Amino acid sequence: VKIKMIKSGKVKFIICKLEELYPHVPIPLKHNDPYTLLVAVLLSAQCTDKRVNKITPILFGRAKNPEEMIKLPIEEIEKIIKPCGLFKAKSKGIYGLSKNILEKHGGKVPESFEALEALPGVGHKTASVVMSQAFGHAAFPVDTHIHRLIYRWGLSNGKNVIQTEKDCKRWFPKDKWNKLHLQIIYFGREHCTARGHNLDKCLICRVVGRKNLKTN
């Protein structure tokens, strides 16, 4: 009970501080609809949002929906998205999910975790982003920033992203998940970085962070 009380106090502090810092959180990946968001999220794997946002206008200028995308040769998709890395796998994923959406979902991105995760190249994190940011369903996508911060704040053991997601959903109120995961990402980029992080100066870690963590 004592641990739970301590952690609930941490959670309240974290929510208040993030709300104070980021009252408005724009979605980092530029998109026009669920399909363009889905493709952008797929491209963002092991790539910065900034770089993805430079590439997607070129790609969507050529093909902005599944019908147009499957008319492009995979080689052309590869050439456009090459700066995002892993372009062979990503181009196959984009082509494959576009074909699947046309054949099985009437050309529209499906609005369920099960159907999204069944699409080529789409994992749980990508499905979570689309469910939360495109359709407004409660989800808590965990990226590297969130995984790092939730461990630093002592709210998860940091073993894997699956456990981190479970812990995030356990500690944070469901009605705050969609905004909160974006707030944590922004905070991780600006204040609680992987390198050069200072436990004593970090606006959240200095209050709720694990005291045994080394500062860089």
Sequence-ordered list of residues with C-beta below 8 angstroms from that of 81, at least 6 positions apart, any chain = 43, 55, 59, 87, 90, 91, 94
* DSSP H or E segment with residue 3: helix 2-21
Integer-rounded Cα Rg, in Å, for the chain is 19
Q: Which residues are annotated as catalytic?
A: 125, 143
Burial annotation 88-117 (CB, 10 A radius, 16+ → b, else e)? eebbebbbbbbebbbeeeeeebbeeeebbe
